[in-house]
Structure 1
């Protein structure tokens, strides 16, 4: 088996409309209808699949790569009143320098936004 990419990540959400607005407005993602009946966000090579649940008991964690500079990313997140749980931190990931900030979506799913340099 030769795996090359992730096709989708399922994100548990308790209020679909709130989550769709969050991911569309904060990350500027296009919302699409998925073949399984769920709503999702198109990230070109991958999809975010928003699966509505009565209550999100087990939030997930995932990372995103941004093309913006970290100062602009942080300012944008502050403008949208996004919960920042970890301030920008410089580190090395897989032989590359990265600046990361960690946030929470409305259901406390943990998202690391990375600026690779």
Structure 2
């Protein structure tokens, strides 16, 4: 088996409209209808699949890659009043250097926004 990409990540959400607005406005992602009937956010090759739950008891965690500077990313997040869990941190991951900031969405799903260099 030769797997090289992720097709989708399921994100548990308790309020679909709030989550759609968050992911569209904060990350400028296009909202789409998925074949399974859920709403999703288009990441070009992958999708975020928003799955409605009465109460999100097990938030998920995932990383996104941004093509902006960390200075601009942080300023943007502050402008949208996004919960910042950890300030920008420089580190080395598998094969590259990364500057990352960790935030929470409205359901406390943990998102690491990365600027690779």
Structure 1 runs (4+) deviating above 2 angstroms are none
2:100 is equivalent to residue 70 of structure 1: no
**Secondary structure at 1:55's aligned position in 2?**
coil
Distance (whole Å) between structure 1 residues aligned to residue 46 and residue 66 of structure 2: 14
2:81 is equivalent to residue 81 of structure 1: yes
Partner of 1:47: 47
Partner of 1:103: 103
Aligned length: 117
Partner of 2:58: 58
**Secondary structure at 1:54's aligned position in 2?**
coil
Partner of 1:5: 5
Per the TM alignment, residue 95 of structure 1 is displaced from its structure 2 partner at its CA by: 2.0
| Residue-by-residue CA offset, 1:82-114 (whole Å, 9 max, x unaligned) | 000000000001121100000000000000000
**Secondary structure at 1:37's aligned position in 2?**
coil
Distance (whole Å) between structure 1 residues aligned to residue 95 and residue 48 of structure 2: 27
Distance (whole Å) between structure 2 residues aligned to residue 47 and residue 102 of structure 1: 20
**Secondary structure at 1:12's aligned position in 2?**
strand
Q: TM-score, normalised by structure 2?
A: 0.99
* Gapped regions of structure 2 (runs ≥ 5): none
Partner of 1:38: 38
**Secondary structure at 1:74's aligned position in 2?**
helix
Q: TM-score, normalised by structure 1?
A: 0.99
Distance (whole Å) between structure 2 residues aligned to residue 62 and residue 43 of structure 1: 13
**Secondary structure at 1:22's aligned position in 2?**
helix
Distance (whole Å) between structure 1 residues aligned to residue 56 and residue 82 of structure 2: 18
